[in-house]
């Protein structure tokens, strides 16, 4: 479970809620993807709990809206640390525990193909993850581990309330989305499940847009 942007209590609450929703065969482990020590600990706990596994979904990410001229070094470093570095080292630390023929799914964004003012660092960090999906696809071929990505557009998640957006921005985003609504987390989850399953066995290094037509229409 990635450490969310916010208080530690919020992370624990969210993790506990997820474990309860998923049922009695679920184990929740809290780790901050910015910390290699915590990722090493995560790998150790996964090995002790389940041993080998087949699916890795690296989904941790934050977005801090700021105009180019106002971006601070601290905000820049945190977005890159979580969105790109975190994804890279999550895969590096957990890949040895994955079975041959497993599937890795990375979360990118529609902003890797288009742009939104104030989201330059977020878009760039996720574009790096898109490149990583291609690179890892080549490097992990020796184990037949497939790496693909899912690129969400505007989705109804708590991240919107954490970005300190002007009141008119959600309406602007909605107006730019051809399908005329925000996406639902479940719609992204279905794309991830497809990439995790054998139904996508001939897909490698790909990125699936789940964006209501934002990037293509």
166 φ, ψ to 5°? -60, 155
Task: Check residues 162 and 44 and name the one with the higher pLDDT.
Answer: 44
Give whole-number Cα distances, 216 to 36, 108, 111, 113, 126, in Å.
37, 16, 12, 9, 18
What is the structure's pLDDT at 161? 64
Tell me the per-residue pLDDT of 106-140, one tens digit each, with 9 for 90 and over.
999 999 999 888 999 999 999 999 999 999 999 99
Q: How many CB atoms lie within 10 A of CB 16?
A: 12
Digit-coded pLDDT (tens) for 40-91: 999 999 999 999 999 999 999 999 889 999 999 999 999 999 999 999 999 9
Give residue 5's pLDDT: 38
Q: What is the pLDDT of residue 4?
A: 36
Whether the predicted pLDDT of 7 surpasses 50: no
Alpha-carbon separation of residue 28 from 40, 44, 150, 196, 205 (angstroms): 16, 14, 23, 20, 29
Give 168's pLDDT tier (boundaries 50, 70, 90): confident
Report pTM. 0.91
Res 1 pLDDT > 90: no
Domain ranges of the chain: 52-210
Backbone angles phi, psi at 81, to 5 degrees: -65, -40
- Distance of alpha carbon 102 from alpha carbon 93, whole angstroms: 15
**Marked catalytic residue, from 122, 151, 177, 210:** 122
Residue 163: its pLDDT value, please? Answer: 64
**Domain 52-210 CATH superfamily:** NAD(P)-binding Rossmann-like Domain (3.40.50.720)
Q: Contact 211/151 with Cβ under 8 angstroms?
A: yes
Q: For the chain, what percent of residues have pLDDT higher than 90?
A: 77
> Which of 16-20, 32-36, 177-181, 182-186 is predicted least confidently?
16-20
3-state secondary structure of 45: helix
Pure H helices in the chain: 8-22, 36-49, 73-80, 86-94, 120-139, 169-176, 185-196
Phi-psi category of 63—alpha, beta or left, where left has phi over 0 and alpha has psi -120 to 50? beta
47-50 — which CB contacts under 8 Å span 24+ positions?
47/97
User: Which residue did the predictor score with more confidence, 180 or 163?
Assistant: 180
Identify the pLDDT of residue 39. Answer: 98
What is the Cα 187 distance to its own chain's centre? 14
**Known catalytic residue: 122?**
yes
Cα distance between residue 125 and residue 119, in whole Å: 10
114-119 long-range contacts, CB within 8 A, separation 24+: 114/214, 114/215, 116/173, 117/67, 118/65, 118/66, 118/67, 119/63, 119/65
């Amino acid at each position: 479970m990635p450490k969310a942007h916010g208080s530690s209590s919020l992370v624990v609450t969210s993790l506990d809620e997820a474990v309860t929703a998923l049922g009695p065969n679920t184990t929740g482990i809290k780790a901050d993807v910015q910390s290699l020590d915590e990722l090493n600990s995560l790998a150790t706990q996964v090995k002790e709990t389940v041993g080998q596994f087949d699916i890795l979904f690296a989904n941790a990410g934050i977005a801090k809206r700021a105009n180019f001229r106002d971006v601070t070094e601290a905000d820049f470093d945190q977005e890159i640390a979580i969105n790109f570095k975190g994804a890279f080292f999550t895969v590096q630390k957990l890949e040895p525990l994955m079975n041959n023929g497993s599937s890795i799914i990375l979360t990118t964004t529609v902003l890797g193909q288009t742009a939104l003012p104030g989201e330059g660092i977020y878009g760039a960090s996720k574009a790096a993850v898109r490149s990583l999906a291609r690179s890892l696809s080549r490097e992990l071929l020796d184990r037949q581990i497939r790496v693909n990505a899912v690129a969400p557009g505007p989705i109804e998640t708590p991240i919107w309330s954490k970005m300190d957006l002007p009141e008119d921005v959600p309406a602007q985003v909605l107006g730019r989305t051809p399908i005329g609504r925000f996406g639902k987390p479940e719609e992204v989850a279905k794309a991830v499940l497809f990439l995790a399953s054998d139904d996508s066995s001939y897909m490698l290094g790909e990125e699936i847009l789940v964006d209501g037509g934002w990037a293509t229409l």
